[in-house]
């Protein structure tokens, strides 16, 4: 058995760690990302860092300005609001479509993700909360039967997680999220497309309201 780390796995891990550092707030919006510093922090080559930055630029987590270099993207409230609007449309429709297609094994996977999410809320583990939420929605995306819709949502995932990290850090928001995701699960289990759409949209709208408050506090603190 070959247990050596391949260059590809090093690359993927570099992308993951820098992405996580951005979504967690370790690197702040607008902060310059110096290649030499990243190499030292991560213990990887400059080639790996450059490739990671290129990937994150395509995800719109960083911006690369000629003669200035890369920096963490600053997501304005207008951009965030547009993302929430699109999420509400797509996730509501995806949940409605999934209600008529979900199978027992799909529900089992969603139940597992919900249980992990709830435990992470109690443990105040934001990383696991975000990954469990993504796992929950991944089942809905797979069950909705619309591959193009899934591609669009996957394309937004990094910025959605960027916003989730901020709203989930708000006191009480995570516990509300548990109830909201449970409502989505119940509607899918019953095969009720109308309710599934309504509760999925309500979940996004609640997250948007929390994010709006977070952005206001950030602006006041600036």
Query: How much is the pLDDT for 1?
Result: 40
Work out the pLDDT band at 173, boundaries 50, 70, 90: confident
- Over range 186-205, report the average pLDDT: 97
**What would the pLDDT profile of 96-127 be if each residue is shown by its tens digit?**
999 999 999 999 999 999 999 999 988 888 88
Three-state secondary structure readout of 74-139? CCCHHHHHHHHHHHHHHHHHHHHHHHCCCCHHHHHHHHHHHHHHHHHHHCCCHHHHHHHHHHHHHH
Query: How much is the pLDDT for 106?
Result: 98
State how far the Cα of 8 lies from the Cα of 1, in Å rounded to an integer: 18
Residue 76, judged by CB atoms within 10 A of its CB (0-12, 13-18, 19+), counts as exposed
Instruction: Note if the pTM is more than 0.85.
Output: no
Query: How much is the pLDDT for 196?
Result: 98
**What would the pLDDT profile of 49-94 be if each residue is shown by its tens digit?**
999 999 999 888 899 888 888 999 888 899 999 999 999 999 999 9
Tokens 């997680």, located at residue = 161
Work out the pLDDT band at 2, boundaries 50, 70, 90: very low
Which helix (H) or strand (E) covers residue 13, if one does?
Answer: helix 7-23
Query: How much is the pLDDT for 7?
Result: 56
Q: Which residues contact 144 (CB under 8 A, 6 or more apart)?
A: 93, 94, 95, 97, 98, 101, 150
State how far the Cα of 135 lies from the Cα of 168, in Å rounded to an integer: 16
């Amino acid at each position: 058995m070959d247990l050596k780390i391949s260059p590809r796995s090093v690359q993927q891990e570099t992308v993951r760690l820098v992405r996580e550092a951005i979504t967690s707030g370790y690197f702040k919006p607008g902060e310059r990302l110096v290649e030499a510093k990243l190499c030292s922090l991560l213990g990887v080559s400059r080639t790996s860092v450059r490739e990671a930055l290129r990937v994150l630029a395509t995800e719109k987590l960083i911006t690369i300005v000629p003669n200035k270099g890369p920096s963490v993207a600053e997501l304005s409230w207008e951009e965030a609001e547009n993302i929430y609007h699109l999420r509400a449309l797509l996730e509501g429709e995806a949940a409605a479509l999934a209600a008529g297609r979900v199978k027992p094994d799909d529900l089992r996977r969603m139940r597992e993700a919900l249980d992990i999410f709830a435990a992470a809320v109690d443990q105040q583990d934001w990383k696991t909360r975000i990954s469990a939420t993504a796992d929950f929605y991944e089942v809905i995306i797979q069950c909705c039967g619309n591959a193009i819709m899934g591609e669009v949502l996957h394309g937004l995932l990094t910025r959605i997680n960027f916003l989730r990290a901020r709203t989930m850090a708000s006191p009480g928001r995570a516990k509300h999220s548990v109830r909201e995701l449970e409502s989505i699960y119940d509607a899918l289990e019953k095969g009720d497309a109308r309710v599934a759409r309504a509760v999925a949209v309500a979940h996004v709208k609640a997250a948007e309201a929390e994010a709006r408050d977070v952005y206001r506090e950030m602006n006041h603190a600036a």
